[in-house]
Amino acid sequence: MRTWFPYPLLSFGLLLIWLLLNQSVAPGTIVMGTVLATGLAWVTLKLSPVRSHPRRILLVLHFGLTVAFDVIRSNLAVTAVILRGRRRPPSSGFLTVDLDLDDENALALLACVMTATPGTAWLEYDRGRKSLLFHVLDMENEDVWLDTVKRYEAALKEIFG
């Protein structure tokens, strides 16, 4: 099984993307998609990406919903800051937080999430000291940001276990 499907999750994802792009679930599309998904997984084998084993699909869903909610809230907050204009310039600043994530894919996911949230920008991650430097637009509630990152970290740790 492993020789045929070295990255089952990746293959499944590619197949899903293929079906979505073609907008059909006709047998021909599925066959073509399966061939592509398997072949591309073999190609990826040469790149030897880091394996991780996300568990608990329900937790992933919960995490996704939390992130979506946070992104919407952050969108509104940043919009408010921009529209406020020069009258009250944003009190932006840098924050450092120690992360306890070993899984590379979990870190990548965290980077995506933090960049997708308009209020935070991922700047630098120090592998040796496992600390992350990020920039926040609104420093007024600095603890809330640190809490949020810690919350994400805990969720990712549970998912990637």
**Residues in touch with other proteins (CB under 8 A):** 17, 20-21, 23, 71-72, 75, 78-79, 81-83, 85-86, 89-96, 98, 111-112, 114-124, 126, 129, 131, 133, 135, 137, 139, 142
Amino acid at 7: Y
Q: Which is nearer to other proteins, 120 or 148 (CB)?
A: 120
Q: What is d(CA 66, CA 101) in angstroms, rounded to the nearest whole number?
A: 19
Q: Which is nearer to other proteins, 34 or 75 (CB)?
A: 75
Q: Distance of alpha carbon 52 from its chain centroid, rounded?
A: 14
What six digits make up the tokens of 141? 């509630």
Considering the complex, what minimum distance in angstroms separates the CB of residue 122 from other proteins? 6
Q: Which is nearer to other proteins, 130 or 157 (CB)?
A: 130
Considering the complex, what minimum distance in angstroms separates the CB of residue 40 from other proteins? 16
Q: For residue 125, which of 98, 158, 146 has the smallest C-alpha distance?
A: 98
Q: Which is nearer to other proteins, 4 or 142 (CB)?
A: 142
Residues present in the chain in total:
161
Considering the complex, what minimum distance in angstroms separates the CB of residue 70 from other proteins? 10
What six digits make up the tokens of 127? 């592998």
Q: What is d(CA 27, CA 47) in angstroms, rounded to the nearest whole number?
A: 31
Considering the complex, what minimum distance in angstroms separates the CB of residue 121 from other proteins? 4
**Phi and psi at residue 36, to the nearest 5°:** -60, -45
Considering the complex, what minimum distance in angstroms separates the CB of residue 158 from other proteins? 22
